[in-house]
Structure 1
């Protein structure tokens, strides 16, 4: 048999070099007006070769496009819960001091750390200066990314983090808890007392900075983020994160805890959120959920943090299932899927449990081979189907001609 077609992502788009140079000139003029010297700018921006691959990512953030059951399956899995509990023990002293200083409990801080960087294992691989310079001159939201680029230069100028350590996501987030540069400038703290605010090499600084962020976002010490509830079939009222009512209002609508136990009515403002509609889990959420939401402005993300924090407190997972007959995969299962794709001759790169462009492209090819809808989704059904079929062996490489 012939080898499986190779999965690959398309080449990055070309760009207008003259327009790019003009943009860099305008950035330098703005940087000068804001106190950033020409030598610093020339060293760190003028020499940048644009990475136009980041432009595709502007409109493909997973927390907005991925079904919530897929999104949570990889972020709140048994691996992350076990690792998070270890981190709670390993850094108990720091976390206790962070809670005393900012009022945010250890489980929430560690949940953010776990979701953002897998406890420091995945900071991201893109140089911030390259990504932010590219996005400052191309694509949507150029004004926003210009501000982030200048904030990055100030971080370097102030000596908090060196340029070579500023590696992270395509949008400029970096460090253990993935602050963007402007947020770093506003809210990062020096918690270990070494005179630098360092979210890359200092776990105490990163955890305290995260707690400081949540406190400034309105975190209320000792209050819950929310909890899963049961909604009666007759309920037909307005719901959603921004539709706040006193807790007594929801009690009056017949809403109970998910186990059927009553909720004590009071005047606390809360919202009923059903992230997958009436057929999925429902939640009453409070002010602390909004503080978490502000970290990344996506409900799926906020639920990942909130539900992981519950597991880290030793509480069980959700009672009600998500409304799908083909659930998403944990990271362990994603690695198993990637191995099966490699066995079928797909060059997807490292087996890392991250479903990136090459993995999705390979999934599409296998879905077509299996007669399944070619949506590129890594699911339980696809994993079962691949495990049940024999891999197609790769053909010997063709001899190269000169």
Structure 2
């Protein structure tokens, strides 16, 4: 008898919880719907057409998952030595080499025009979207609207939303095909809408900047981004090095730049212990992503450029490592 009473009580509690959650969901949906209408009014005042707005918001929905991911972005608990084999497994290195050969003629043309070594274009492509095979399954308008509605970074995500509406209004992509990450990063290059506006290129000349489906546009857009943020095609991205005993860690970090000869005078060597290249036209920083017992890099100008793309030393190391695997196949 007692078990029946407890069971009925639990059922009652669960029913009340379910009703409460349902009411909360309905309240959120109502507030979200009102927010969308307010956004439309604001967009009209910013000269977006009714046609654009009707198409863009036709199937807009609230993404609870996007809010959860934005609030709980995971922190790395790995080291580079454990992260790199996951980010660049052997199959990905091999595929990168195959993709490089497959698109070599186009890549070399783009690379020459923008002053970017093609292997870095392929490496970025591979790290960002596995060579275009996974570009994200979120509707970009819905994701950006949801994150603006959430309010923690409303100004940022509203700005991205306006750019996304411009992209639709200018005819670069149909709203239903504007797919991306939970944060609104789009296409094979994973550009945020603002990056699209600044760097996307209509390289195939069809009147659309198609970073979703056009290899010429994808490669040229990536190269244009790098070229615009200080890329150099006469140097690599960086190199793994060894530090001497007692190295002053306060000298590490991207804010400290020294000539290679100056680092050599301080006892920094190549990873194999040999001397650094004798080039005083190159300045570099010592970067210690984990600690002095882990991987240490001399970071060249291209390292800084890659940090503009994604401000993660792990991301840059993965792109650099994959580019090296393309350059020196095993």
Normalised to the residue count of structure 1, the TM-score between the two structures is 0.71
Residue of structure 2 aligned with 1:27, choices 39, 54, 72: 39
The aligned residue for residue 294 of structure 1 is 308
Aligned residue number for residue 236 of structure 1 = 248
Give the equivalent residue in structure 2 for 1:67.
78
Partner of 2:112: 100
**Contact conserved, 2:257 with 2:283, CA < 8 A, in 1?**
yes
For the residue of structure 2 that corresponds to 1:227, the secondary structure is strand
1:280 aligns with 2:289: no
Structure 1 unaligned blocks of 5 or more = 1-10, 317-402
Go from structure 1 to structure 2 and tell me whether the alpha carbon gap of 1:276 and 1:174 turns closer, same or farther (over 3 Å shift).
same
Q: Partner of 2:321: helix, strand, or coil?
A: helix
Match of 1:219 in 2: 231
Aligned-pair distance for 1:251? Answer: 1.3
Distance 1:146 1:204, change over 3 A: same
C-alpha RMSD of the superposition: 2.1
Kept after mapping to 2: 8 A contact 1:24/1:46: no
Q: Is residue 187–residue 209 contact of structure 1 (8 Å, CA) maintained in 2? A: yes
**Using the alignment, how far apart are the partners of 1:59 and 1:20 within structure 2?**
18
Structure 2 SS opposite 1:284: strand
Residues 37 and 204 of structure 1: CA distance in aligned 2, closer, same or farther (over 3 Å): same
**Aligned position for 1:201:** 213
Does structure 2 conserve the Cα–Cα contact (< 8 Å) formed by 1:55 and 1:139? Answer: no
Length, aligned pairs only: 305
Q: Distance in 2 between matches of 1:59 and 1:71?
A: 23
Query: Which digits, 9 at most, give the CA deviation of each residue in 1:317-345, with x for residues without a partner?
Result: xxxxxxxxxxxxxxxxxxxxxxxxxxxxx
Query: Could you say which residue in structure 2 is the equivalent of 1:76?
Result: 88
Residues 83-134 of structure 1: CA distance to partner in whole angstroms, max 9, x if unpaired? 1000110000110111111010111000000001101111111111111110
**Residue aligning to 1:259:** 272
Q: 1:54 to 1:197 in 2, by over 3 A?
A: same
Aligned residue for 1:294, secondary structure, equals helix
Question: Which residue among 139, 158, 173 is the counterpart of 2:185?
Answer: 173
Q: More displaced, 67-76 or 132-141?
A: 67-76
TM-score normalised by L of structure 2: 0.86
Of 258-267 and 97-106, more deviation after overlay is shown by 258-267
1:273-352 aligned at under 5 Å gives the runs 273-314=287-328
The answer to whether the aligner puts 1:40 opposite 2:52 as a matched pair is: yes
1:242-291 CA distance string (max 9 Å, x none): 22233333212100011111122626321101111011111100110011
Between 1:174-183 and 1:37-46, the stretch displaced more is: 37-46
- 1:134 aligns with 146
Distance in 2 between the 1:161 and 1:265 partners?
Answer: 46
- The DSSP-based 3-state class of the residue aligned with 2:158 is helix
Cα distance in structure 1, aligned partners of 2:179 and 2:322: 26
Higher relative contact order (CA 8 A, sep 6+): 1
Displacement of 1:139 = 4.3
Q: Which has a greater percent of helix?
A: 2
Q: Does 1:247 align with 2:270?
A: no
Instruction: Give yes or no for contact 2:147–2:157 (8 Å, CA) kept in 1.
Output: yes
Aligned with 1:198: secondary structure?
coil
